[in-house]
Amino acid sequence: MVAALALALVSGLAAAEPTLKVDESFEGGGWNAQSPRGFTPGLIESLEKQFMFNQLQGNHAFALEDKVVRDGQYAAKLVWKHDNPAAFNGDKNKLDNVDRKAMFHGYKTKKVMGAEAWFGFSFYFPSDGTADELNNWLFFQIHGSADKRLKEKSRNPPFSLTLTPEGMRGNWKWDPDQLSTTRKGKGTEHFVIPGAKSDYLDRWVDFVLHVKVDYTEAKTGFLELWIDGNKVLDQHNIQFGYNDDKGIYPSWGMYFNGNLDVMKNDHYLYLDAIKMSDHPKATYQTVAPQGKPPM
């Protein structure tokens, strides 16, 4: 009787624990995804499928890192090459979307309207890997899910974080229409994160993001962003997200938009301590990188 009661209590506590949709720090020596595609350097199919899918420019785009590490023994080193990027994927004479990227994508939230999610992750931006370009570094996105039944075209991500020569910038978007008529959404708001670019280089930078989707004029959506434990974005009573059938999902890594002919350098960064949860009891601590980053 006592044993049964103890088991019930333990089971109840376990059920109350916020679950993680993504929990990846590359401690298994690589990565795995539900739908791996294209180039898959570092893929180990025996590992848990912590990502939904990958988009890696080539076999050079991922390497396991054991020196520049946020936590544990390993981190990911992501690499993008600027010289003839179209040579890697698909038609070698045409620039493919994946030619622009070295990214991993997380899983979709269970719902769209009212979806609330927490994201935690840590990036290391090396000075020699983040030289200034005319194209900015997009390193984190939240995506909508275009409705296939409506033959809806893909749209710009409703949330993004970018590293620029001036520092960190971002924006969020919304569109209440069931069938979006523009890739850019019906509205966009931009924000500036305090600090110069140099403030974020050559060290681990910890991020925690908390979002709620509301694309309607009720404006119950919100965006909260902490960097290194300090809240740098606190937007409430906003429109955010797209009117889709399926949930939002995150991306981590590198994406270069625009004309790639102007790019002058290869680029790389390190990524570690990735977590995501849309559990109703998830909190800041559920996803935040743990402890102080190494100096």
Q: 3-class DSSP state for residue 23?
A: strand
Percent of the chain beyond pLDDT 90? Answer: 81
Residue 11 pLDDT: 47
Residue 16 pLDDT: 63
Is residue 171 one of the residues assigned to a domain? yes
Is residue 7 one of the residues assigned to a domain? no
Residue 150 pLDDT: 81
**pLDDT tens figures, 207-219:** 999 999 999 999 9
Percent of the chain beyond pLDDT 70? Answer: 95
Is residue 121 one of the residues assigned to a domain? yes
Backbone angles phi, psi at 129, to 5 degrees: -105, -5
CA 167 to chain centre: 18
State yes or no: pLDDT of 110 exceeds 60: yes
Q: What is the CATH number of the domain that holds 97?
A: 2.60.120.200
State yes or no: pLDDT of 151 exceeds 80: no
CA distance 90 to 38: 9
Is residue 109 one of the residues assigned to a domain? yes
State yes or no: pLDDT of 86 exceeds 70: yes
Is residue 10 one of the residues assigned to a domain? no
**pLDDT tens figures, 26-38:** 999 999 999 999 9
Residue 273 burial (CB < 10 Å; 0-12/13-18/19+)? buried
Domain hosting 208: range is 18-287
Confidence of residue 122 (pLDDT cuts 50, 70, 90): very high
Is residue 4 one of the residues assigned to a domain? no
Bridge-partner residues for 162, per DSSP? 138, 169
Which of 124, 280, 268, 123 is closest to 208 using CA atoms?
Answer: 123
- Residue 113 makes CB contacts below 8 A (sequence gap 6+) with 213, 214, 215, 216, 243
Which of 185, 166, 161 is closest to 238 using CA atoms?
Answer: 185
Q: Is 139 or 182 the better-scoring residue by pLDDT?
A: 139
State yes or no: pLDDT of 9 exceeds 50: no
Neighbours of 91 (CB within 10 A): 9
Is residue 194 one of the residues assigned to a domain? yes
Residue 140 pLDDT: 99
**pLDDT tens figures, 244-253:** 999 999 999 9
CA distance 118 to 286: 8
Residue 13 pLDDT: 44
Mean pLDDT of 106-117: 97
Mean pLDDT of 274-284: 98
Residue 181 pLDDT: 83
Mean pLDDT of 21-27: 98
Neighbours of 101 (CB within 10 A): 25
- Residue 191 makes CB contacts below 8 A (sequence gap 6+) with 169, 170, 171, 172, 233, 235
Residue 15 pLDDT: 53
Neighbours of 243 (CB within 10 A): 20
Question: What mean pLDDT, rounded, does the chain reach?
Answer: 93
| Angle 42-45-50 from CA coordinates, rounded to 5° | 80
Rg of the chain (C-alpha set)? 19
Task: Report in angstroms the alpha-carbon separations of 152 from 91, 180, 205, 250.
Answer: 24, 7, 36, 20
Residue 145 pLDDT: 86
State yes or no: pLDDT of 261 exceeds 50: yes
Give the best-scoring range by mean pLDDT among 17-31, 146-160, 172-186: 17-31
Residue 159 pLDDT: 98
Residue 3 pLDDT: 52
Q: 3-class DSSP state for residue 2?
A: helix
State yes or no: pLDDT of 262 exceeds 90: yes
pTM for this model (two decimals): 0.92
Q: Is 94 or 119 the better-scoring residue by pLDDT?
A: 119
Say if residues 101 and 55 touch (Cβ distance below 8 Å).
Answer: yes
Residue 294 pLDDT: 81
CA distance 51 to 23: 9
CA distance 52 to 31: 11
Number of domains observed in the structure of the chain = 1
